[in-house]
């Protein structure tokens, strides 16, 4: 398969996953805003921290509040990671390989883009914003389902999965890393209302609140990390995601899972093995911040290995033709 197609499939899904993650973060934070007095930096600054775009934010905005962060993370086209910019880039990648994706998938991505473009010209109050973020989230779910059911599960589909799960791992680890700054006291009686809402927001931001309440009860860092990092069955956990990455890497290379002949297979295999065998007590003893930093670094390394092995030199291939659904 041409590197051009692999690159576009990878980034199309990665940008869509980013847009969905940011939409969920914004929706959850707006809901938390209804439960908390005030609208200051304590509530909105962490969202920008999670994206890693603080310097870019401060180049255009003076304070961290609802208006500035909503604008920066949702509509700001000078921010390459805003929801509108991410959907636009997903759309451009989809446009470049329209001969390789279904008409239904293109239509759904295009509709999401124009919905956001229209919303960007409107002065949105609290309730319309909540509705917009819910529609972004639901649209991304629909797009994911269409892609899963209308694209043949060959190499190109596996590249799309790589983009989706790498982005999911990266943003979840960053979410946990930033949220750890707002660590709760272990004794529930010492927890403030703000801290409890932060915990609920963290779980809802990972679509994990209902599962956590059913399976784990009272929140603690050990329980939350066990679910979001180490649970092998929760589809948004780091451990589940790295398993999907490993399966897709080996489907692309044709090599047996559990062996390696390429650097990317070795890096992914080591990452997965560590998560398979580490216990939560060992992780906490190592230092949660340090371990999350390590996961973020390894995720970035995997992305670089994938780019080096499969996605480089795409510009030379732009003029080559790709057979429809080949």
Domain positions in the chain are: 3-317
* Tokens, residue 210: 């209902």
Instruction: Provide the 8-state DSSP code for 65.
Output: S
Burial class (CB in 10 A: 0-12, 13-18, 19+), 253: middle
Say whether pLDDT at 25 is over 60: yes
Q: What is the Cα–Cα distance from 236 to 169, expressed in whole angstroms?
A: 8
Q: Over the stretch 51-104, which tens digit does the pLDDT of each residue have? A: 999 999 999 999 999 999 999 999 999 999 999 999 999 999 999 999 999 999
- Round the average pLDDT of the chain to a whole number and report it: 89
Residues 6+ apart with CB under 8 A from 262: 253, 255, 309
pLDDT more than 70, % of the chain: 88
- pTM score, whole prediction: 0.90
Q: Are 224 and 284 in contact (CB under 8 A)?
A: no
287: region left, alpha or beta (phi > 0 left; psi from -120 to 50 alpha): left
Burial class (CB in 10 A: 0-12, 13-18, 19+), 182: middle
- The model's confidence at residue 318, banded by pLDDT at 50, 70 and 90, is very low
The b-or-e profile of 142-172 (16+ CB within 10 A means b, else e) is ebbebbeeebeeebbbbbbbbbbbbbbbbbb
Largest CA distance in the chain: 65
Phi and psi of 79, rounded to 5°? -95, 110
Distances (CA, A) of 118 to 137, 167, 263: 17, 26, 44
| Nearest Cα residue to 116 out of 76, 69, 78, 147 | 76
CB atoms within 10 A of CB 130: 17
């Amino acid at each position: 398969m041409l590197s051009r197609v692999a690159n576009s499939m990878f980034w199309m899904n990665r940008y869509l996953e980013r847009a969905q993650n940011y939409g969920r973060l914004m929706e959850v934070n707006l809901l938390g805003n209804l439960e908390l007095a005030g609208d200051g930096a304590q509530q909105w600054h962490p969202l920008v921290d999670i994206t890693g775009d603080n310097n870019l934010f401060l180049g255009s905005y003076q304070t961290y509040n609802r208006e500035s962060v909503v604008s920066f993370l949702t509509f700001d086209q000078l921010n390459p990671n805003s929801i509108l910019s991410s959907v636009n880039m997903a759309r451009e990648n989809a446009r470049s390989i329209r001969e390789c994706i279904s008409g239904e998938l293109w239509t759904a991505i295009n509709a999401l883009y124009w919905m956001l473009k229209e919303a960007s010209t409107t002065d949105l109050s609290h309730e319309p914003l909540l509705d917009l973020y819910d529609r972004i989230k639901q649209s991304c779910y629909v797009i994911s389902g269409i892609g899963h059911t209308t694209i043949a599960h060959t190499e190109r589909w596996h590249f799309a999965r790589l983009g989706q799960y790498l982005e999911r791992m990266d943003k979840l680890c960053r979410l946990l890393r930033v949220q750890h700054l707002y660590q709760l006291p272990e004794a529930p009686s010492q927890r403030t209302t703000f801290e409890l809402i932060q915990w609920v927001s963290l779980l809802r931001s990972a679509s994990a609140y209902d599962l956590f309440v059913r399976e784990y009860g009272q929140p603690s860092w050990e329980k939350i990390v066990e679910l979001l990092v180490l649970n092998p069955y929760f589809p948004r956990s780091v451990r589940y995601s790295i398993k999907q990455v490993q399966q897709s890497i080996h489907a692309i290379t044709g090599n047996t899972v559990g062996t390696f002949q390429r650097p990317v297979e070795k890096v992914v295999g080591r990452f997965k093995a560590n998560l398979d065998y580490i216990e939560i007590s060992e992780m906490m003893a190592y230092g949660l911040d340090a371990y999350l930093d390590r996961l973020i670094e390894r995720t970035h390394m995997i992305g670089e290995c994938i780019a080096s092995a499969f996605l480089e030199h795409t510009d030379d291939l732009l003029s080559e033709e790709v057979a429809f659904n080949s």
